[in-house]
Structure 1
Amino acid sequence: MSVSHEKKQNYYFQIISKVIETYFLERMPVSVNWVRLSADNSHLFVYLEFQFSQRKNLAKIIKAEKFIRLKFGNLLEGFKVPQLHFLLDPVVERVEKIDKIFSEIQKEK
């Protein structure tokens, strides 16, 4: 990944986080954990974490994708607006599994 691509990805992370927090934080506790920009800059994968009802809240975010993309595009300066793809952050599930394994190990001792 080139430096300019990484900078653009970081810029998109800041903007999409601002949009999500502004329009959705009051309705659902959501945080944007990280984003991944495709090599051709046409797709932005947004990895989200919710405090509860992960699947239900993700469905709401996906349903509002056009609205989010519009607000995201309004804040971008001089860039083509990429397609947005919202996903649950897989790292959260892995951490929970690892914590569960550690707690089982502690119980065995």
Structure 2
Amino acid sequence: MGRGSLSALETPAAVMTRVREEERVNGVRVTSIRLGYVDTAMARSIAAFEGAEYRPETYLRPSSVAAAVRLAVDAAEEAMIESLSIRPRYLGTVWAVRIVHCGAPRLRN
């Protein structure tokens, strides 16, 4: 990497932005990936340890995470997906995106 050393005061987002910009000139694409909870053996054992009910529908499937990561890897040569935020869609909750006249999206439940 370029001139920057990792500072304990930098936020992860700032670090990823700096790394992304430093590596862009080298032809390297950098994607930040933020995940919600993923349905894994570890997640199930944490729920059991805490005595909580484990509801798999409130977790992401590992295959869903892999598909999203694949999207970034398979992006066209001229494209770079800078960040992915992958969250579970909770059962029973329906979110719709509505585009208003000015073009800004609004979420409504």
- Asked if these proteins are the same fold (TM beyond 0.5), I'd say no
Normalising by structure 1, we get a TM-score of 0.29
Higher share in strand: 1
> TM-score w.r.t. structure 2 length?
0.29
Larger helix percent: 1
